[in-house]
Structure 1
């Protein structure tokens, strides 16, 4: 049974069940990779993707409805402060991603692997050509990143933080977030996901620094994904 992190006392039975289903489905879809968006270009299969990703987001929202409601209330109550946090967070995420990109480039050059692409980037490139924008943009640009934030920030940082320092929870969840983008356990893949891991760590640091408010990291994550997808689609 999955332990409910970041709860205010006893979590409701429905929320606890939703949490277990959310984590289980996430593992099946992303870790075991039993359903790949890139392999489903059109037709009924695309509808299956929408259903699965939508279900993930719905389960996550039910599981963490108290935390999310509290986070939204805090943002609405202090909109000026929220805007400043978003700006600072965006700058921090960009800086962390650039640092990760520089480190990956140095390591690829040092190991003679320069020019070896990350397979996840190639898959996304093919998906932008094969899948309708009406499917790709909602899933890859909005639903996907929101589900990732619920999993890696809201759930994992809380879970790991029960047995380790907060900074360790942020780093571990960020590294796991980076590894999610690996297609194989190879050296080129490991080096190429460093920018993703650094981005994940930055998201985690923002989440913790904002008082564990998922609104900020989620907003920036959605913004990043949308800008990355809209350019090739348009």
Structure 2
């Protein structure tokens, strides 16, 4: 019989899949404004994830407190790994765009910029803090951890990285597939960090928060000019 915790994990996974993979947030827009629906969903899932893995999160946090210096340097190394991988995949994406005669930014970037213009502080909090929490709980703490029980680590990392990239697509247009290559790099890097640090979610989570925060700082500066 399935335990209470496993039921909770299954419930979180189903909610995330329905809301973000099958665009369930759009369904909620029939009841409440789409912007409010998106923010509400992220808050609910973040709280759900916290209470679902509360004991593990507290244990891992206590481990980090004992090795603060190690945590700092490993996060820095993780960010450098992410930087190098995303640069490589971004370059590959741009080369493919030029070969195929495509131009313009992805729909995900466009929607973030649009939301930032309307609610800069709110979207920054959600994209830099709450969003990474929800994504890391689903992709690393649940999905990657589960796959590694049955598949090799590298195959699991690739599958999760690919899933991470695909969930950042907003349509099946060729341009969206090409733009997803950039997110594939990020998904691979976060998963590598998670595995390397013995499945301690705080390492990829903090790196995820840092890179999103840097992106929003650049976005904020560019919007002023």
Task: Provide the residue aligned with 2:20 in structure 1.
Answer: 30
> What is the CA-CA distance between 1:82 and the residue it aligns to?
0.9
Unaligned runs of 5+ in 2: none
Unaligned runs of 5+ in 1: 4-10
Does residue 147 (structure 1) correspond to residue 134 (structure 2)? The answer is yes
Kindly provide the CA deviation profile for residues 132-169 of structure 1, in whole angstroms up to 9, marking residues without a partner as x.
23421221221011100111111111121122101111
Q: Which has the higher helix share?
A: 2
Instruction: Select which of 29, 38, 48 maps to 1:49.
Output: 38
Task: Provide the residue aligned with 2:115 in structure 1.
Answer: 127
- Quickly say closer, same or farther: Cα 1:100–1:80, change in 2 above 3 A: same
> What is the CA-CA distance between 1:84 and the residue it aligns to?
1.2
Task: Provide the residue aligned with 1:136 in structure 2.
Answer: 123
Contact 1:21 1:59 in 2 (8 A): no
Q: Aligned partners of 1:170 and 1:72: how far apart in 2? A: 24
Contact 1:18 1:62 in 2 (8 A): no
Instruction: Select which of 74, 90, 100 maps to 1:85.
Output: 74
Kindly provide the CA deviation profile for residues 102-148 of structure 1, in whole angstroms up to 9, marking residues without a partner as x.
111111112222x2321111111111112x23421221221011100
> What is the CA-CA distance between 1:26 and the residue it aligns to?
0.9
Does residue 216 (structure 1) correspond to residue 203 (structure 2)? The answer is yes
How many residues are aligned here?
218
> What is the CA-CA distance between 1:181 and the residue it aligns to?
0.9
Q: Aligned partners of 2:97 and 2:34: how far apart in 1? A: 37
